[in-house]
Structure 1
C-alpha cells in the first residue's frame, strides 16, 4: 500500500499556446483542469501502473469543489479532508514552439489546527489499513505487527509519500509529525519538499528524500550537489534521489553515488517529472526493492517518460525502452568523506 499526502493541493490548470510572448495576448484551446499537487500526481502515476494507493489531501471552497469533482471522476482511491480555505490553483502555460513550460503557483492558505489534526488522523487510519493488507498478503493470518512472514518472503512495508510545498504559516512540526506517524506505523517514508521543510524531513528521519539540484542547494547552502546530499544523509535520511533535469538523476547513500541519464535530453512538459520519479521509488519500495541502482533506474525512466506527456500525473508507455537506454555509472565519492565547504549565497 502506498499512501500519498498532499498538504498543499492545487487545482492544476494547463494551457498549450503556440508561443509565449512576454506582455502579449495569447489564445488557446480549452485547457485541462485536474486535481493536482505533487502527492496526487504521485498517486496517479502509481495507480496507473497497478500499485495499491490511497491519496490523502485537503479541499475547500469553490476550487475545492471542482478539485473534488475531478478526483471523484477518476478511479484513484482517495480521501479528502474538508477545510475552510479555498484550494489553491496552479497554472501551467506550455510553449509548443520552444517546448518550455511556464508555471504560476498560488501559495495556498494554511488550514486550522483542527483541520491539520484531521489530516493526520486520516494518515494514521490509512497506514493501519495498509499494514493489515500487508500482513494478509504475506500470509500471516493476522494484522498483528509482530506476526512472522513465511520463510523466504520479504517483509513488505507500507510506503508513506509526503509531497509538495507547505502553505504559508504551516506549523513547523507538521512534516516531522507526519514522518513520525509513518515511522511509528513501520512505513517507509519518502518526502519530496523544499526549503526548511527539506532539512526538517531529514532531521525527522525520512527514509528517502527527493529534492532537485536548486532545492538542495537552497536548503543546505552547499554548491556541490553530492555534498548537499550528504548533509541530508548526516541529518538522518537513508537515500537521496537528486533530480538534475536534463542531466538525469543521482542516488546518494552513505557509501555510494550512482548516476543515471539519457544520452540526449527529451523535450516536453517537465512539470510532473519529479512526481513520476517519486512514484517509481514508492512502487518499487512497496514491492520490497531496496537497491539504490534499481530505484534510480526506474525513477529516471519514469521521470523522462513524464516529460513526454501533456499533463502531470502520467507517464509515456515507452518508459521500459527509456530505462533500457539509460547510461548508468558511479561518479567519484570524494564528497562523501570530505564535505564541501563551499556554500551558496542565501
Structure 2
C-alpha cells in the first residue's frame, strides 16, 4: 500500500495559447481544471499502473470544493481533511508555438494547529488500517509488466508547505511513517528537504536546483552526500534532460536517454517518485532498479499533456536507458531542469 500526503494541494488550471506575449492579451479555449499537487500526481500515476494507493490531502474554500469534486470524479482512492483556508491554485500557460509552459503557483494558506493534527490522524489511520494488497494487473500497454504483490507500506510526502507551516510538521509525518514500519519517500525543497533528511526519510528526490538551494553546496554529489550524512539512505537526483542520479553511501549511478524528449516536464518528478514508491512497495531495494524505473516513468510523463500521467511506452524507454557510473567531473555542469513546485 502506498499512502501519499499532499500538505499544500492545488487546483491546477491549464490554458493553451498560440504564443505568450509579455504584457499582451491572450485568448484561449476553455481550460482544464484538475485536483493537483505533487502527492496527488504520484497517487494518480501509481494507481493507473495498478498499485494500491490512498491519497491524503487538505481541502478548503470555494477552490477546495471544486478540487474535491474533481478528485471525487477520478478513480484515485483519497481522503480529504477539511480546512478553513481556501485551497490554492496553480496556473499553467502553455505556449503552443515554443512548446514552453509558464507556471504561476499560489503559495497557499497555512492550516490551523487543529487542522494539521487532523491531517496527522488521517495519515496514522491510513497506514494502520490499510491491509497489504493482493496482486493486481497493471493496466495500459500490453507490453507493460503486471504489478506484483506489494509487501511493504510506503509513505510519500510530496510538495511544498504553505507559508507559516510548523517546522516540525514534516519530521512528525516522517516519524508517523517510521513508527508504522513504512518506507518514507520525501520530495520537497528548501529547509523542509534538510528536515526530511534529519528525520530519517528513506528516500529523498530533489532536483539539482532544490539540492543546491537547500544545502548551499553547488556540487551535486557533495550535496547528495550531505543528505545521506543527515540520515537519508538514497538520494534520487533529477537533472532534467541530463537524466537522473542515484546516490547512496556506496555508489553513484546515472541513467539517461540518448536524446532528451520534448514535451511537458511538469509532472516528471512526481512520476519518478511514483515509480520508486511502487517498486519499494514490492520489496525492491536495488538502487539501480529504482533509478531505471524512476527515469523511465519520468521520461514517459514528459510525453503526456497533464501531470499525473505517463505514456504507455515507458517499458521501451526503460530498455533504451544508458546507465553508467560517470566520472564525478562529468556531473559538475548545471542541469537544465526547472525547479518544480
- Alignment TM-score > 0.5, same fold: yes
Q: 2:287 aligned to 289, 292, 303, which one?
A: 292
1:272 and 2:258 matched: no
CA deviations on 1:270-304 (whole Å, 9 max, x unpaired) are: 11000000000000101111100010011001111
> CA 1:238 to 1:334, structure 2 compared with 1: closer, same or farther past 3 Å?
farther
Give the paired residue count. Answer: 318
> CA 1:14 to 1:186, structure 2 compared with 1: closer, same or farther past 3 Å?
same
Asked which structure has the greater CA Rg, the reply is 1
Provide the residue aligned with 1:343 in structure 2: none
Q: 2:166 aligned to 171, 177, 199, which one?
A: 171
Provide the residue aligned with 2:184 in structure 1: 189
Q: 1:235 aligned to 230, 233, 238, which one?
A: 230
Q: What SS does the corresponding residue of 1:47 show, helix, strand or coil? A: helix
Q: CA deviation at 1:95?
A: 1.2
Provide the residue aligned with 1:341 in structure 2: none
* Residue ranges of structure 1 left out of the alignment (5+ in a row): 139-153, 336-346
> CA 1:218 to 1:161, structure 2 compared with 1: closer, same or farther past 3 Å?
same
1:71 and 2:79 matched: no
Equivalent-residue separation in structure 2 for 1:34 and 1:155 (angstroms): 29
The alignment's TM-score, normalised by the length of structure 1, stands at 0.89
CA deviations on 1:155-178 (whole Å, 9 max, x unpaired) are: 922000000000000000000000
Report the aligned-residue RMSD: 1.7
Q: What SS does the corresponding residue of 2:226 show, helix, strand or coil? A: helix
Q: Is the 8 A contact 1:94 1:269 kept in 2?
A: no
Equivalent-residue separation in structure 1 for 2:173 and 2:123 (angstroms): 8
Equivalent-residue separation in structure 2 for 1:85 and 1:98 (angstroms): 36
**Residue correspondence of structure 1 range 1-346 to structure 2 within 5 A:** 1-130=1-130, 133-134=131-132, 156-332=151-327
Q: What SS does the corresponding residue of 1:62 show, helix, strand or coil? A: helix
Q: What SS does the corresponding residue of 2:267 show, helix, strand or coil? A: helix
Q: Is the 8 A contact 1:238 1:254 kept in 2?
A: yes
Q: Is the 8 A contact 2:150 2:281 kept in 1?
A: no
Equivalent-residue separation in structure 2 for 1:253 and 1:286 (angstroms): 19
Larger displacement relative to structure 2 (25-34 or 196-205): 25-34
Q: CA deviation at 1:129?
A: 1.9
Q: Is the 8 A contact 2:134 2:150 kept in 1?
A: no
Q: CA deviation at 1:84?
A: 0.2
* Residue ranges of structure 2 left out of the alignment (5+ in a row): 136-148, 331-341
Equivalent-residue separation in structure 1 for 2:43 and 2:78 (angstroms): 9
Equivalent-residue separation in structure 2 for 1:55 and 1:110 (angstroms): 19
Equivalent-residue separation in structure 1 for 2:30 and 2:241 (angstroms): 30
Equivalent-residue separation in structure 1 for 2:21 and 2:317 (angstroms): 33
Q: CA deviation at 1:137?
A: 5.4
Equivalent-residue separation in structure 2 for 1:6 and 1:258 (angstroms): 29
Q: Is the 8 A contact 1:88 1:106 kept in 2?
A: yes
Q: CA deviation at 1:98?
A: 1.5
Equivalent-residue separation in structure 1 for 2:14 and 2:289 (angstroms): 33
